Amino acid sequence: MVEIRGYEPDDLDALYRIALATGRAGSDASALYRDPRLIGHVYAGPYATLFPELVLVAEDADGVAGYILGALDTRTFESRQEAEWWPALRRRYPDPASVPSGHRTPDQQRCHRIHHPLRMPDAIVADYPSHLHINLLPRLQRRGVGRRLVERWLDLAQAMGSCGVHLGVNYANRVAMEFYRASGFQELDSPVPSMSQAIWFAIRLNPSPTSTGSR
């Protein structure tokens, strides 16, 4: 049995572990990083800390092994990251801007993102203001858990007022691309120059007239 439930503060370390274990185009990135928490600082921690109501986890008998998280309004997320999340990390991790981009280690690449976070283009955010990330450990993959997580999260975002959701996929992660297509997402033409290795997908939602949210 796999239970999908809302996030609890004690789940944070599991989110970080899963982010690392899936951080190499869906496979384990543990061997790439000297600091095993860096990838979680970018892709898990800010969501769980700033928007815990939009985090769902998948738990089996051995513990939390998957999650989906995101933000209802990407611009609000970016602003709150800048004010509440990045400052402490910037004091902890130096900016490797002096190291040419092609020579940065994976740790330095994540540190650079902490100091120079991605801002999504207006062309994407205007129509798809929300965004999400989903990761599953191998033991939960190909069991329908990912589809359940996406459906639950999209229902939640729609009920909160979102009219559309976008996400990025590493171009090497072909399995993930097929998963998102099967889940109703469509590939976008709009590029994100600072993330040239990503393919961008989106899906439109129909918020109810009584909902309040990003649109």
Does residue 59 fall inside a structural domain? yes
Instruction: Establish if 211 belongs to a structural domain.
Output: no
Collect all residues with Cβ–Cβ distance below 8 Å to 31 and sequence separation of at least 6. none
* Position 198 in a domain: yes
Alpha carbon separation from 143 to 69, 138, 149 (Å, rounded): 19, 10, 12
Domain containing 115 equals: 3-204
| Residue 214 within a domain | no
Q: How large is the average pLDDT for residues 20-40?
A: 96
Look at the block and give the residue holding tokens 């209802």.
72
User: Would the CA dihedral through 180, 202, 37, 11 be positive or negative?
Assistant: negative
Mean pLDDT, rounded, for 14-26: 95
Give every CB contact of residue 55 below 8 A, 6+ residues apart in sequence: 6, 7, 11, 15, 47, 48, 67, 68, 69
149-169: pLDDT as tens digits: 999 999 999 999 999 999 999
Count how many domains the chain has: 1
Q: What pTM was computed for the model?
A: 0.92
How many CB atoms sit inside 10 A of residue 174's CB? Answer: 13
Question: Is residue 115 in some structural domain?
Answer: yes
For 35, phi then psi, to 5°, come to -105, 105
The total of other beta-carbon atoms located within 10 Å of residue 133's CB is: 17
Express each pLDDT in 68-89 by its tens digit: 999 999 999 999 999 999 999 9
Whether residue 24 has pLDDT greater than 60? yes
pLDDT digits (tens, 9 = 90+) for 35-44: 999 999 999 9
Give the closest residue to 135 by CA, choosing from 124, 145, 123, 121: 145
pLDDT range class, residue 171, cuts 50, 70, 90: confident
Q: Which is more confidently placed, 88 or 25?
A: 88
Amino acid at position 114, single letter? I
Closest alpha carbon to 131 in 72, 188, 182: 72
Answer yes or no: is 39 within a domain: yes
Pairing of strands 164-170, 186-187: unpaired
**Average pLDDT, rounded, for the chain:** 93
Q: What is the pLDDT of residue 198?
A: 84
How many Å apart are CA 122 and CA 21, to the nearest integer? 32
What is the model's pLDDT at position 197? 76
Question: For 182-215, how does the pLDDT look when each residue is reduced to its tens digit (9 = 90+)?
Answer: 999 999 986 676 666 789 999 999 976 665 555 4
pLDDT class for 170, splitting at 50, 70, 90? confident
Asked if 80 contacts 50 with a C-beta cutoff of 8 angstroms, the reply is yes
**Local structure of residue 154 (DSSP, 8 states):** H
The answer to whether residue 213 is domain-embedded is no
149 vs 57: CA distance, rounded Å: 8
Residue 75, strand partner residues: none
Q: Which residue has the tokens 């097929």?
A: 178
CATH of the domain at 69: 3.40.630.30
